[in-house]
Amino acid sequence: MTKSQIPNPKQSLPAGRQVQNSNFQSPKLVIGHWSLVIIWLLVIGCWLFPVSANALNNPEQKVAEVIKGYILTKYPDWSRDEIRLTFKFAEKTFADVGKLTEDTRFRVLEIYPEFKPVGNVVLPIEIQNGENIQKILLRAKVEVLKRVAAAAKRIKKGKVLEASDLKLEERDIALLPQKYFVELYALVGKEAKITIPANSTLFEWMLGDLPLIRRGSEVTILVAEPGFTIKTKGQALEDGYRDAEIKVKRAESKKTIIGKVLSPTEVEVKL
């Protein structure tokens, strides 16, 4: 077979097949093409939407930490309790401030020494960006959460407390008087001085120790002087506790006298 008779593979293929082959692209070339497109889009995106690596993403969280530190400086006893802050309209307030970075400093301004930053409050905050200083007012609800003693059910006046009458429950103590209870065992055996509604926080003024002598009960009145002792029957005019003074009267007299409680049945009177 001569050289001119050797078939040419390209010439032997059908015309349709040759068109298909002419449009074929290498996979490597396709991948390279899309890589260039992605890089170009990233460059354009960064130019249109610049992002500062030092931008402060959550100013509310940072300010909350500063406020909590300020509160604990004034009330260190709350260091073991949960301090919860709920801001109002903070997003708009920070939007009006402008650009904030991780280097931005916040400080709670002292209004007056007696200011108590709890409850629903307006907190003056100083914002420092380098030499630029701004002041804003942040509305917030500040709660201090603690587990305290509460009435598990309605407790009638005069009832001696049992364990089933009590429960520990989380309450906001920020504005409560410092006369609540955080343990239950010390309350069992105390007497309710008033009727206490269910779920009420228990305070010292609601409860008391059981009196040694009940009002209206019969007692022995002792008049003790050096060399002699006189005993007479009498009546307690009020509840009495050991070593405390109460009003009593003799059985045959309406005159009120003051005596010291010695026991559940004895009151000592000094002449």
Pairing of strands 191-192, 207-208: antiparallel
Cβ atoms 134, 187 nearer than 8 A: no
Per-block average pLDDT, block size 10, for the chain (271 residues)?
49 46 48 53 46 69 93 93 91 79 89 87 91 90 96 96 96 92 94 96 94 92 84 92 92 89 92 75
What pLDDT does residue 151 have? 97
Place of tokens 């992605």: 38
Domains and CATH numbers, the chain: 59-144 (no CATH), 148-208 (3.90.1210.10), 218-269 (2.30.30.760)
Cβ atoms 61, 68 nearer than 8 A: no
What pLDDT does residue 32 have? 54
How far is Cα 119 from Cα 68, in angstroms, rounded to an integer?
13
Cβ atoms 72, 79 nearer than 8 A: yes
The dihedrals phi and psi of 155, each to the nearest 5 degrees, come to -115, 120
